[in-house]
Structure 1
């Protein structure tokens, strides 16, 4: 009985100074339990279809609303740590300059091979979402008081990184219905990658990783060494990532994942900027510094929404050029204008985050003022 009580005591949720990214309330609100946002776009799409609205129209409306509310704002807040920070540009000029190539690639693919553009987008987006999850897990690990073994870390990462792909692989290789909106991603994937073997490999890899994760979690629980916040986060993320690709309309289904991912990212980036200010490490534009101060979270969010509205204006201009200058149909002009304006910035955001997500130290050694704000 005494041993059991001691074990449960060590498993109790830690305080703000413990293993949470920031605090129990903050982590659960913005990181883990915000998973409740995932089904909303899909449920909204189903409800609108039930009332007889055009399926493709409702899909585009929901995409637009998610982009305006969280997708666009989360995309632009990346640049508060990169292109809008002179210290970043001065230290990494080649990296900053290489970013210019991304819009050129997006424009070329949008005009000449839209299916390939969407295929690259689909897989890069999934890797980006998973990379953010790996970053969060990495921060949790660095907040531990003990050293985590390499096999334990590998299992944590493996179960997350493989969870999104079994059902997606099934839809690519067996049911052959890997559609994003009206675009068949399978058209841009070589035929040899559509063999059922790849589904079986994806399913077996995930199954093994999941079994090992459950076994490891039980073992750590019995030893009293379980990192509860991290374990709950991994389990919630894994189950959600596994289920979402099974939904009928993948475009809207992944908007649910995008909503959750973007909500997490907005909170993480604002908090990291708060830490940078307290450490004296932020050299961004004055307006970025002002909205990153304590108590300015709403202004920070509204500024990112403003940048997003600017993207809408750019997209509208591109639409006019394609529709009347290039004599494209309304549908083709809209799709290409949307993807050029959005993916140009979104892929830059992905590119920058592959660097930023390698720096879990950005959330370590937090000044007391940032923690309390």
Structure 2
């Protein structure tokens, strides 16, 4: 998707919109799989109510949706011969990440978790911005840089007003750890600055939306997507159990991502832009794509169990209690988290690494612009 192209000048005569022009795929596809799939964020909360364990919720979400979504990235990058041929240095750079991740897991697991959560927050927001851009670039009426800047500003500030306050007061806990925050930034007035930025962009967004409506430029699906994303980003850090809260956001993010990748892969195949026959075959069906990614996830699960067995056998990181007591939220296992983060983050941060390339739309052969296509 050519998100880096210059803004399109608005014509004095606003073109009449075809129904297909305002949706990425179709009303049913967009509302079901991209926007209102946000209702799935309740799944981790319901799971936690029954299991009473953050660790089990993490494992279930990772296996069912989080893992498959991250492996879907590879169908557009490492599994795509043309991508590896066109960007050899960038593709090979991904293999350095597991080395850095395992090293950090050994030396300072808390620092690794802190880096992961910061990068994860940027990644989730970047995906929301990509979807907004996809709507924007598909609109035949054109788009304005001011609109794009306001949308970006709103998304990139909405997650941090509450989170900043919790970080300053060492209240941002996840994975049994309090995330690190630089001492020189622990200033009581900093959250107010973030709030001012967020509220300023929110006011600009509301004014912009009214202006677009009055001038015939209102885009319903994009505005709905922005409203849902902004609301969820703002509310998530307010919840007490941040592990479960962010897994809820992750479920929506992951489900939406699979829907976007499925569509883009099918669009690439339709336009003759896909050089991998296997990816083309499995992308013909959402169930086939999910099944392959689930199989990769199960393989990563075996690697996680092997790593966990290894650290338990040799007594590495032996603090806390092990699996028999994990039903209690107050009990955490450093051995579990070392194995989990070492294995999962090795795949997950490669996913982040490649997705910045995808979301920026640097190469239309890899990330083609959205166009009408039967989603069946």
Same fold (TM over 0.5): yes
Corresponding residue for residue 349 of structure 2: 347
Q: 1-side partners of 2:125 and 2:92: how far apart?
A: 26
Q: Which has the higher contact order (CA 8 A, sep 6+)?
A: 2
In 2: Cα distance, 1:43 partner to 1:271 partner: 30
Q: Identify the residue that residue 228 of structure 1 maps to in structure 2.
A: 220
SS at 2:19 equivalent: coil
Q: Does the C-alpha gap of structure 1 residues 12 and 310 become closer, same or farther in structure 2, counting only changes over 3 Å? A: farther
Report deviation, 1:157. 1.0
Is 2:310 aligned against 1:318? no
Aligned match of 2:201: 209
8 A Cα contact 2:105 2:338, kept in partner? yes
Of 171, 174, 178, the residue aligned with 1:177 is 171
1:15 equivalenced with 2:19 (yes/no):
yes
Matched residue, 2:56: 61
Show the 5 A alignment for 1:1-373: 15-16=19-20, 18-45=21-48, 47-48=49-50, 55=52, 58-174=53-169, 176-185=170-179, 188-284=180-276, 286-293=277-284, 296-329=285-318, 330=322, 331-359=333-361, 361=364, 362-364=367-369, 366=371, 370-371=373-374, 373=376
Q: Deviations over 1:65-111 (max 9, x none)?
A: 11111100000010001111111111111011111110011101111
Seen in structure 2, the aligned counterparts of structure 1 residues 27 and 143 have a Cα distance that, compared at 3 Å, is same
Between the aligned partners of 1:36 and 1:147, the Cα distance in structure 2 is 31
Equivalent residue, structure 1, for 2:11: none
Which shows bigger deviation, 192-201 or 226-235? 192-201
Task: Tell me by how many angstroms 1:143 deviates.
Answer: 1.2
Unaligned runs of 5+ in 2: 1-13, 323-332
* 1:225 to partner: Cα distance: 1.5
Partner deviation per Cα, 1:134-163 (whole Å, 9 max, x = no partner): 111111111112232222211111111110
Aligned equivalents of 2:78, 2:136: Cα separation in 1: 29
Following TM superposition, by how much is the alpha carbon of 1:231 offset from its aligned partner in structure 2, in angstroms?
Answer: 0.7
Question: Post-superposition shift, 1:327?
Answer: 3.9
Counterpart secondary structure, 2:304: helix
Does the Cα contact within 8 Å between 1:21 and 1:363 map onto a contact in 2?
Answer: no
Compare 219-228 and 235-244 and name the one that shifted more: 219-228
Q: Secondary structure at the match of 1:308?
A: helix
Query: So what's the TM-score if we normalise by structure 1?
Result: 0.89
TM-score by length of 2: 0.88
Q: Give 1:13 shift.
A: 9.1
Q: Distance in 1 between matches of 2:150 and 2:94?
A: 33
* Counterpart residue number, 1:7: none
Q: CA RMSD in A?
A: 1.9
Does the aligned pair in 2 maintain the 1:11–1:228 contact within 8 Å? no
Deviation at 1:365, TM superposition (A): 6.1
Contact preservation (8 Å) 1:109, 1:116: yes
Aligned mates of 1:241, 1:13 — CA distance in 2: 31
Residues 34 and 14 of structure 1, relative CA distance in 2, 3 Å threshold:
farther
Alpha-carbon distance between aligned partners in 1 of 2:265 and 2:275, rounded to the nearest angstrom:
10
Alpha-carbon contact 1:164-1:245 (below 8 Å) kept: yes
Task: Name structure 1 gaps, 5 residues minimum.
Answer: 1-9
Higher helix content, 1 or 2: 1
Asked if 2 retains the 8 angstrom alpha-carbon contact of 1:181 and 1:250, the reply is no
Query: Contact 2:29/2:375 (CA < 8 Å) preserved in 1?
Result: no
Match for residue 4 of structure 2? none
